[in-house]
Amino acid sequence: MIELIGTNAGLVWNSLDKLGKMDIKALKKATKLRSDKELYAALGWLAKEGKLRFDESGEDLLIELVY
């Protein structure tokens, strides 16, 4: 399971690196992850490593990479 989360975190990182800031729905589509659980576990992994910034200023939660 840990290996899968790490792999999914790589998909999230690559999508954000290539496409920039996006909301949860767009990120799930870009990564082609099958479930919310997979996406949120990957986001948690990257957030714990300090690689993500979350923007809650608008209606949607936007996520972007921190380089």
Tens-digit pLDDT profile for residues 17-38: 999 999 999 999 999 999 999 9
| Confidence grade of residue 2 (pLDDT, cut at 50, 70, 90) | very high
**Contact by Cβ (8 Å): 62, 22:** yes
**Contact by Cβ (8 Å): 21, 55:** yes
Pick from 24, 26, 30, 25: nearest CA to 10: 30
Domain boundaries, the chain: 2-65
CB atoms within 10 A of CB 41: 19
Structurally, what CATH architecture does the domain formed by 2-65 represent?
A: Orthogonal Bundle (1.10)
Cα(48)–Cα(59) distance, rounded to whole angstroms? 24
